[in-house]
Structure 1
Amino acid sequence: MPSQQQARAQASAISSGSAAAEDEAAPAAPASQLRTLFDRPRLSPGQRRIAQYLIDHLTEAAFLSITDLADRVGVSQPSVTRFAAAVGFSGYPALREKLQAIALGSIGGPSVSEETGNELQAAVDAEIENLENLRRDFAAPGRLIDIGRKLSRSTPLTVLGLRISASLAEYFAYAARRIHPDVRLVTRGGSVAYDALLQSHEAGGTWVLAFSMPRHAQETLTAVRVARGAGLRVALITDLALGPLADEADVTFATGTGSRLVFDSYAAPGLMASALLQAMTDADPERTHARLEEYEQISEQHQFFLKD
């Protein structure tokens, strides 16, 4: 016969096992369910405001009429209808039914903060996942190394980034100018972009590096088509491996963007840009060394930077 101590240990083990099974069967916290429901990279900033309001005020918002919800968020009723369609529902009534099911299922459950942390922490978690995916892609870096070599040989090299993608293009072009003799940055669309692309080809350029982040600009697609029509090849850094832009590009590097906040964050695309810069430096190490040494001398001479 087991001792009292053994009996207590067995009871504790049974209790722990039951608790673990209950935890595994328990549904995700309401905020997690909503973030999964609303995690669409093509939501506009206005639509993300609606999503954030629903996450923050679920138990109340799930029972609001479309008029009341629009008033609370500060958007129009058609905006709420478009939001419902954007996240996969036939209309606001279908979305509200789903919200009510989540809200009613959360009564008596653990708090959002206990399960998921706050919205900023969730945004960081999403970016960590994007970087983990990129790390797996880098396990076979042959394609990236090859494109880095081709970008290095293109003189001039054109870097294209319109609207919100301009910041990534500016970063890449700024760094690339340290190691490449002729980098041309295009951050304006329309005829300005056309002129720059045509001139780049006439000057002997062979490649364009284009950035396209959500929401994808129509003028970016047009510029890529102009580049291809002029005889330039296009390497594209974007968030989607499929779609019109990827179809037009010669090679696409698809990396996830952080879409948890009102405006996207670009940890993975920024790292992809840095990796391509590294591939360019490795493609011509002698030129890289000479140009960096020359730049250091100039920057020291003219005191570009503060001394540590």
Structure 2
Amino acid sequence: MPSPQQARAQASAITSGRTAPEPAVSPTSQLRTLFDRPRLSPGQRRIAQYLIENLTEAAFLSITELAERAGVSQPSVTRFAAAVGFTGYPALRERLKAMALATRAGGAAEEISGNELQAAVDAEIENLENLRRDFADPDRVIGVGRELSGSTPLTVLGLRISVSLAEYFAYAARRVHPDVRLVTRGGSVAYDTLLQAREAGGTWMLAFSMPRHAQETLLAVRVAREAGLKVALITDLALGPVADEADVTFATGTGSRLVFDSYAATSVTCAALLQAMTDADPERTRARLEAYEQLAEQHQLFLGG
């Protein structure tokens, strides 16, 4: 059996001469919307996560089989169905079956007519459309940006695949914030930095956790919380152990049509939080940006034109 990444590599091989299908809301996004309930218990979130990750198989399981696969009791599955708005598990399963069958039909049609690169772009467009709807009320972004701006030092954590996102955010944040501490190594090195940041007066950490979610990210978030730091998390799903530890979570879809994920919506979320940080202290922002531009001109850091 091929590994999940090998299967993705085979399925996403680039071919020519195909026309992309019309973009549609993905089953993952539909399930995220359906299951994104703040009062789900940890056991119920485990069921939701299993259904999201295994829709085409899980939709046809009995209540006993689903309980065994998700590692919960049968009554937990029944309570989960009620918590997400269904009269019982049979009604939930019918909804899941319809979504699974539509997914299979769409996959078959895509094999005939789909252009993989265009389909990957379509998936990211869908992620951006979902993010646009999330941003209809910007108050949460504004509020978290204000908190991050006021935390001195501000810690930014990104491990393994999340390193590049954390580096981008930290690089930009340093233009408008006096003390940004980037953590890209796990274990005791990360713990030392987190503890020192708290001792220096820091109040918040921004963490990135993208798939595959690293165990060391979860441990670092727990250390940060134990030290007294609040945690804002940027990740791909609002459900999961890392999200459970965070004070606030921004869940943005990732592009998963190719072998390696892409992060269009995640990057926009970063830019939105950076904007909120600049707006939180406009005088400091202006002074720091002007000083940086003078430095850049003095040392000719950038090409003209």
CA deviations over 1:268-298 (Å, ceiling 9, x no partner): 0000000000000000000000000000000
- SS at 1:159's partner residue? strand
CA distance in 2: counterparts of 1:167 and 1:45, whole angstroms: 20
CA deviations over 1:28-67 (Å, ceiling 9, x no partner): xxxxxxxxxxxxxxx84223124447x99xxxxxxxxxxx
User: Which runs of at least 4 in structure 1 moved beyond 6 Å after TM superposition?
Assistant: none
CA deviations over 1:106-145 (Å, ceiling 9, x no partner): 7xx99823xx3x1000000000000000001111010110
Q: Whose relative contact order is higher, 1 or 2, with alpha carbons under 8 Å and at least 6 apart?
A: 2
Give the residue type in structure 2 aligned to 1:151. L
- How do 1:83-232 residues align onto structure 2 when only pairs under 5 Å count? 88-89=56-57, 112-113=112-113, 116=114, 118-232=115-229
Note closer, same or farther for the CA distance 1:191–1:262 as it changes in structure 2 (3 Å cut): same
Report deviation, 1:261: 0.2
CA distance in 2: counterparts of 1:44 and 1:258, whole angstroms: 15
CA distance in 1: counterparts of 2:9 and 2:136, whole angstroms: 37
Note closer, same or farther for the CA distance 1:150–1:119 as it changes in structure 2 (3 Å cut): same
- How do 1:4-15 residues align onto structure 2 when only pairs under 5 Å count? none
CA distance in 2: counterparts of 1:111 and 1:270, whole angstroms: 30
| Corresponding position of 1:48 | 8
Note closer, same or farther for the CA distance 1:246–1:110 as it changes in structure 2 (3 Å cut): closer
| Corresponding position of 1:26 | none
Give the residue type in structure 2 aligned to 1:112. I
| Corresponding position of 1:281 | 278
Report deviation, 1:87: 6.8
CA deviations over 1:70-101 (Å, ceiling 9, x no partner): xxxxxxxxxxxxxxx967549xxxxxxx9xxx
Report deviation, 1:219: 0.3
RMSD: 2.7
CA deviations over 1:195-237 (Å, ceiling 9, x no partner): 1100000000000000111110000000000000000000000
Number of aligned residue pairs: give it.
Answer: 222
CA distance in 1: counterparts of 2:190 and 2:110, whole angstroms: 53
Conserved in 2, the CA contact under 8 Å of 1:44 and 1:215?
A: no
| Corresponding position of 2:302 | 305
| Corresponding position of 1:37 | none
CA distance in 2: counterparts of 1:111 and 1:226, whole angstroms: 46
- SS at 2:145's partner residue? helix
CA distance in 1: counterparts of 2:111 and 2:187, whole angstroms: 50
| Corresponding position of 1:234 | 231
- How do 1:57-72 residues align onto structure 2 when only pairs under 5 Å count? none
- SS at 1:257's partner residue? coil
Structure number, greater radius of gyration: 1
Give the residue type in structure 2 aligned to 1:248. E
CA distance in 1: counterparts of 2:246 and 2:111, whole angstroms: 46
**What TM-score do the two structures reach when normalised by structure 1?**
0.67
CA distance in 2: counterparts of 1:289 and 1:110, whole angstroms: 50
- SS at 2:216's partner residue? helix
Q: Unaligned stretches of 5+ in structure 2? A: 17-52, 59-99
Give the residue type in structure 1 aligned to 2:144. I
Note closer, same or farther for the CA distance 1:224–1:307 as it changes in structure 2 (3 Å cut): same
| Corresponding position of 1:59 | none
CA distance in 1: counterparts of 2:155 and 2:207, whole angstroms: 8
Indicate whether 1:266 and 2:263 are aligned: yes
Indicate whether 1:253 and 2:213 are aligned: no
Note closer, same or farther for the CA distance 1:44–1:193 as it changes in structure 2 (3 Å cut): farther
Note closer, same or farther for the CA distance 1:110–1:125 as it changes in structure 2 (3 Å cut): closer
